[in-house]
Amino acid sequence: MYHATIGLIVMLLLRLLIAPLAAEAQESKVGRIYRVGFLAMVPPAASGPFLAVFRQALHEHGYVDGQNVTIEQRWTESSTAQLPDLAAELVGSKVDLILAWGTPTVAAAKQATKTIPIVMVGVGDPVGSGFVASLSHPGGNITGATNIARDLSAKLLESLKEAVPGASKVAVLRNVENPVSEVFLRETDTAARILGVELQVVGVRTPEDLDSAFAAMTREGAVAVIVLADPLFISQRGRIAQLALRHRLPSAFARRENADAGGLLAYGPSLSDQVRRAASFVDKIFRGAKPADLPVEQPLKLELVINLKTAKELGLTIPPTLLILADEVIQ
């Protein structure tokens, strides 16, 4: 009886000593505010919808903006010249993680830090760009989602050709500031040779170049246009759709967001889905995972989206065989 009483007293004393420490640890965890730096080549007006998706996804993981997480934005107006300085600003402000949208922004973030975790979205060739050692074993401080998908460029051109059977000359709009556009351009050129399509490559650097770019397309006899994936073309998606309509050019994109904005069709991964998945990477890293150990995700789904409203404005009749393949038809 005596020994049992002593044991009970010792147990109660231990609980009294441990309880404040546990409460303090819990309070510290609850009170922690994580700081995410967001680096992009588009202004907030264009990135806003995607950041809203990101915030909602973070909320589903238990993070509330302004309570236990904050997001600091840095952006340029499509130019890459300022990116190194902006990335350095985020590093200097001691953010816990950088969310980088697009190949040039990831390159700038990588140059700015080798220790702060970087989660990438909208990147075409992370291995070829030197961001990760491999998709399965990134090996550094960078991980996230990539646009890489087998035969994407070929299927995009095939879909456009089926929608516009007489498209023997197709313009390809690229952002020359984005080095990964070379990869997509080579893939598109290979597909064009197989399909017997002549390509007219038109490069831009800023939104101000878009008017002259579309004028050059029609002047050189292009009858349709493929717009390569790029943050600039997402931020200017409404304007590009209107320019394509004005010049009577059926347009094809690698992002469904462009079809939603009025482009004729899109085939590729959803940027919104990539941003949503980025929140999962952020949560894992904040819980202690290392980017080096988190495999880079390839698109889980490629969507074919056709805008019938735009087809009607262009006077096009989309073949039923193509409509059957569509994941979504915008009326």
**326 and 199 in one domain?**
yes
**249 and 141 in one domain?**
no
**109 and 70 in one domain?**
yes
- Note whether residue 224 is domain-resident: yes
**159 and 229 in one domain?**
yes
**105 and 253 in one domain?**
no
- Note whether residue 21 is domain-resident: no
Q: pLDDT (tens digit, 9 = 90+) per residue, 233-252?
A: 999 999 999 999 999 999 99
| Residue type (1 letter), 233 | F
- Note whether residue 25 is domain-resident: no
Tell if the pTM clears 0.85, that is, is over it. Answer: no
**275 and 263 in one domain?**
no
Find the CATH number of the domain harbouring 325.
3.40.50.2300
**What is the extent of the structural domain holding 177?**
152-268+303-330
**187 and 310 in one domain?**
yes
Query: With the C-alpha atoms ordered 264, 122, 35, 57, is the resulting torsion angle positive or negative?
Result: positive
Number of domains in the chain: 2
- Note whether residue 11 is domain-resident: no
pLDDT tops 70 at residue 12: no
If you write DSSP's letter for every residue of 1-68 in order, what string do you get? -HHHHHHHHHHHHHHHHHHHHHHHHHHHHHH--EEEEEEESS-HHHHHHHHHHHHHHHHHTT--BTTT
| Residue type (1 letter), 57 | A
- Note whether residue 18 is domain-resident: no
**310 and 287 in one domain?**
no
pLDDT of residue 31: 64
DSSP letter at 206? S
Tell me the two tokens of residue 32.
């922690």
Give the least confident one: 104-113, 148-157, 173-182, 213-222.
148-157
**105 and 195 in one domain?**
no
Q: pLDDT (tens digit, 9 = 90+) per residue, 214-230?
A: 999 999 999 999 999 88
E runs forming strands in 53-178 = 69-75, 97-101, 118-123, 142-146, 169-175
CB atoms within 10 A of CB 116: 18
Q: Sheet containing 34-40: which strands, arranged edge to edge? A: 69-75, 34-40, 97-101, 118-123, 142-146
**163 and 256 in one domain?**
yes
pLDDT of residue 25: 37
Q: pLDDT (tens digit, 9 = 90+) per residue, 263-293?
A: 999 999 888 899 999 999 999 999 999 999 9
